[in-house]
Structure 1
Amino acid sequence: MDDEVGATTRLQLRLDAPAERWTDAFPVGNGRIGAMVHGGTAHELVQVNDDTCWSGAPLDGPPRPVGPLGDDDPPAVVERARARLAAGDPLGAEREVQRLQTGWSQAYQPLVDVELDHPAAAGDDGYRRVLDLGRGVVTTTWRAADGTPWRQDVRVSHPDRALLLERASLPVVASPGAAAPGGGGAASPGPVPAGAGDAPHDVRVRLASRHPWAVAPTSAHRGSADDPARGRARVVLRAAVDLPSDVLPDYSGEPDLVTYGGRAVHAGVAVAVLADGPGATVDVADGEVRVRGAGRVRVVLTTATDHDVAAGTLHGDRARVAAEARAALDAALADLDGLPARQEADHGALMGRVELDLRAPGEDPPTAGADGPGPVPDLPLDARLVRHAHGAPDPHLAVLAFQYGRHLTVSGSRPGTLPLNLQGIWNPHVQPPWNANYTININTEMNYWPTLVGDLAECHEPLLAWLDRLAAAGEATARTLHGARGWVAHHNSDAWCFTGPTGRGRDSVSWSWWPFGGVWLARHVVDHHDWTGDDDALRRHWSVVRGAALFVLDTLVELPDGSLGTAPATSPEHHYLLPDGRHAAAGVSTTSDLAMARDLLDHVRRLAPVVGERDEDLLAAVDGALDRLPTERVAPDGRLAEWSADVPDAEPAHRHQSHLYRVFPGTSIDPDAAPALAAAARRTLDARGPDSTGWSLAWRLALRARLRDPDGVTALVTAFLHPVDADPADLPPAAAPAAERGGVYRSLLCAHPPFQIDGNLGFTAGLAEVLVQAHRRGPDGVREVHLLPALPAAWPSGRVRGLRLRGGLRLVDLAWRDGRVVRAVLAAERRVVVDVREGAERRQVVVRPGEPTVAVG
Structure 2
Amino acid sequence: MSMKRCIAVLGVLLATATISAADQRYVLQYDSPGNDNLLVERKEKTKSLGYIQTALPMGNGRLGAMFSGGIDQEHLLINEITLWMNAKRGLDEVAQSGTRKGAFRHLELVRQAYREGKYGTKRGSMESLSTKFLSSTQPLGNYAPFADLLIFTGHDPASVSNYRRSLDSRTGLGSVSYRIGEGRFTREYFCSHPNDVVVVRYTAERAKLNLTIQATTKHHATLLKAESDRIVLTGEVSMVQDSVEFMQVVQVNAVDGELISRPDGSILVRDASDVQIILTGYSDYLPVYPSFKGRDYQADCERTITAAGTLGFDSLRKAHVDDISALMKRCRLELDFRPSGLTTDKLVADGGSVELENLYFNYARYLQLSCSRNAPVPSNLQGLWNADLKPPWNCDYHNDINVQMNYWMVETANLPGSFKPFVEWTKVLAESGSHTARETYGIEKGWCIGVNGNVYGFSAPNEHGRRMQQSAHWIAQHLFEHYAFSRDEAYLEEIYPILKGAAEFFVEFLAPWKDGTLVVYPTWSPENVYLPKQHGKLNKQTYGASWDQQLVLNLFTDCIEASTILDRDEAFRKTLQNMIPKLCPQKIGQHGQLQEWPEDWDRPTDKHRHISHLIALHPGRDISPLTTKELAQAALVTMKHRGDESTGWSSGWKTCFWARLHNGDKAHQIYRFLTAKRAYPNLFDFHPPFQIDGNFGGAAGVCEMLLQSHLRSVDAHAQTIEEAALVAYEIDPKSPNCFVPVVQDESVAQAPYILQLLPALPSAWPSGRVRGLRARGGFEVDITWKDGQLVAATIRSKQGGDFRLHWEGTLSDTINLPKGQSFSLPEEARLRSTQVGNPG
Range of TM-score over shorter length: 0.7 to 0.9
| Contact 2:90 2:242 (8 Å CA) reproduced | no
Give the superposition deviation at 1:151.
1.1
1: distance between equivalents of 2:755 and 2:294? Answer: 52
Equivalent-residue separation in structure 1 for 2:569 and 2:574 (angstroms): 11
> Does residue 262 of structure 2 align to residue 284 of structure 1?
yes
**1:304 equivalent among 282, 302, 305:** 282
773, 788, 801: which one aligns with 1:819: 788
1:218 aligns with 2:187: no
1: CA distance between counterparts of 2:33 and 2:254?
24
Name the counterpart of 2:25: 10
**Which amino acid in structure 1 is aligned with residue 524 of structure 2?**
T
Q: Residue 89 of structure 1 aligns to which amino acid in structure 2?
A: K
Alpha-carbon separation, structure 2, partners of 1:547 and 1:410: 30
Shift of 1:281: 3.4
Deviations 1:211-270 (A, max 9, x none): 12011x2024x2xxxxxxxxxxxx111111111204xxxxxxxxxxxxxxx412211011
- Whole-angstrom distance in 2 between the partners of 1:49 and 1:614: 44
**Aligned twin of 1:533:** 487
Are 1:469 and 2:428 counterparts? Answer: yes
**Alignment match, 1:544:** 498
Aligned twin of 1:83: 112
Say whether the 8 Å CA contact 2:259–2:267 is kept in structure 1. Answer: no
- Write the distance in 2 (CA, Å) between the matches of 1:117 and 1:677: 61
Deviations 1:170-202 (A, max 9, x none): xxxxxxxxxxxxxxxxxxxxxxxxxxx231121
1:133 aligned partner: 169
Which one-letter code corresponds to 2:754 in the other structure? Answer: E
Say yes or no: does 1:160 pair with 2:195.
yes
**Would you say the 8 A contact 2:90–2:291 is kept in 1?**
no
Which letter does structure 2 place at the counterpart of 1:695?
Answer: W
1:751 counterpart SS class: coil
2:301 is aligned with 1:325: yes
- Whole-angstrom CA distance in 2 between matches of 1:539 and 1:765: 27
Partners of 1:663 and 1:774 lie apart in 2 by 13
Which amino acid in 1 is paired with 2:135? Q
In structure 2, what is the equivalent of residue 480 of structure 1?
Answer: 439
Give distance in 1, aligned partners of 2:96 and 2:316: 48
8 A Cα contact 1:827 1:848, kept in partner: no
Give, in whole Å, the separation in 1 of the partners of 2:472 and 2:702.
26
Tell me the equivalent position of 2:742: none
Q: Alpha-carbon deviation of 1:5? A: 9.8
Distance in 2 (CA, whole Å) between partners of 1:468 and 1:451 is: 19
Partner of residue 612, structure 1? 567
Relative distance call for 1:656 and 1:675 in structure 2 (3 A) is: same
Instruction: Report 1:113-128 matches (<5 A).
Output: 113-120=148-155, 122=157, 123-128=159-164
Instruction: After superposing the two structures, state which structure 1 stretch, 780-789 or 761-770, moved more.
Output: 780-789
> 2:59 corresponds to which residue?
29
- Show the counterpart of 1:253: none
What is residue 499 of structure 1 aligned with on the other side? 459
Q: Aligned with 1:273: secondary structure?
A: strand
Q: Deviations over 1:510-563 (max 9, x none)?
A: 4x2102x11100112101110000111111111111111011111111122221
- Identify which of 382, 386, 410 aligns with 1:427: 386
The alignment status of 1:693 with 2:647, answered yes or no, reads yes
Letter of the aligned partner of 2:331 in structure 1? V
For 1:663, the aligned partner's letter is L
The Cα of 1:135 is off from its aligned counterpart by 0.6
Change beyond 3 A, Cα 1:323–1:581:
closer
- Structure 1 position 271 matched with structure 2 position 250: yes
Q: Which moved more, 1:394-403 or 1:532-541?
A: 394-403
1:440-455 to 2 correspondences below 5 Å: 440-455=399-414
Residue pair 1:47, 1:114 contacting (<8 A) in 2 also = yes
**Pairwise CA distance, 1:133:** 0.3
Q: 1:76 to 1:315 in 2, by over 3 A?
A: closer
Aligned with residue 97 of structure 1, among 123, 130, 140:
130
Q: What is the DSSP-based 3-state SS (H/G/I as helix, E as strand, rest coil) of the residue aligned with 2:360?
A: helix
Q: Displacement of 1:57 after TM fit?
A: 4.4
- SS of the residue aligned with 1:388? coil
Alignment check: 8 A CA contact 1:704 1:713 kept: yes
1:243 to 227, 237, 242: 237
Once residues 621 and 458 of structure 1 are traced to their aligned partners in structure 2, the CA distance between those partners, rounded to angstroms, is: 34
Bigger mean CA deviation after superposition, 627-636 or 795-804: 627-636
Quickly say closer, same or farther: Cα 1:311–1:660, change in 2 above 3 A.
Answer: same
Matched, 1:62 2:94: yes
Aligned equivalents of 2:401, 2:783: Cα separation in 1: 30
Going from structure 1 to structure 2, the CA distance change for 1:578 and 1:10 (only over 3 Å counts) comes to closer
Structure 1 stretch displaced more, 618-627 or 826-835: 826-835
> How big is the alpha-carbon RMSD for the aligned residues of Structure 1 and Structure 2?
2.1
User: Is the CA contact 1:312–1:495 (under 8 Å) kept in the aligned structure 2?
Assistant: no
CA contact (8 A) 2:97 2:459 kept: no
Deviation at 1:138, TM superposition (A): 1.1
Q: Deviations over 1:706-726 (max 9, x none)?
A: 111122112101210234xxx
Q: Which residue of 1 aligns with 2:348?
A: 385
Counterparts of 1:65 and 1:536, CA distance in 2: 29
User: Counterpart in 2 of 1:585?
Assistant: 540
Q: Secondary structure at the match of 2:534?
A: coil
Q: CA deviation at 1:288?
A: 1.3
8 A contact 1:80–1:93 mirrored in 2 = no
Number of the residue aligned with 1:734:
none
Distance 2:605 2:290 in 1: 39
- Secondary structure of the residue aligned to 2:780 is strand
Aligned to 2:798: 829
Structure 2 counterpart of 1:772, which letter? L
Tell me the CA shift for residue 578 of structure 1.
5.1
SS of the equivalent of 2:508 reads: helix
Instruction: Give TM-score scaled by structure 1 length.
Output: 0.84
Offset at residue 354 of structure 1 (A): 0.6
> Alignment length, in residue pairs?
747
Higher mean displacement: 535-544 or 557-566 = 557-566
CA separation of 1:310/1:28 partners in 2, compared to 1, >3 Å: closer, same or farther? farther
Paired letter, 1:37 = F
| Structure 1: distance between partners of 2:562 and 2:714 | 18
Compared CA separation, residues 469 and 386, structure 1 to 2 (3 A):
same
- Separation in 2, partners of 1:5, 1:284: 44
Distance 1:12 1:64 in 2: 44
- Mapped to 2, the partners of 1:282 and 1:312 lie a distance apart of 44
Partner of 1:180: none
Q: Is the 8 A contact 2:97 2:433 kept in 1?
A: no
SS of 2:342's partner is coil
1:854 aligns with 2:824: yes
* CA deviation map 1:117-144 (0-9, x unaligned): 1113634422111110011111111122
How far 1:428 sits from its partner (Å)?
0.6
CA shift, 1:284, in A, is: 2.4
1-side partners of 2:219 and 2:604: how far apart?
41
Q: Distance in 1 between matches of 2:469 and 2:699?
A: 27
Residue-by-residue CA offset, 1:368-423 (whole Å, 9 max, x unaligned)? xxxxxx4221111121122234xxxx212111111122111111111243211111
Q: What is the CA–CA distance in structure 2 between the aligned matches of 1:751 and 1:566, rounded to whole Å?
A: 34
What is the rounded CA distance, in whole Å, between the counterparts of 1:57 and 1:624 in structure 2?
42
Question: 5+ unaligned residues in a row in structure 1: which ranges?
Answer: 170-196, 223-234, 247-261, 360-373, 724-742
Partner of 2:417, secondary structure, is helix
Report the CA distance between 1:310 and its aligned residue. Answer: 5.8
Distance of 1:120 and 1:65 partners within structure 2: 52
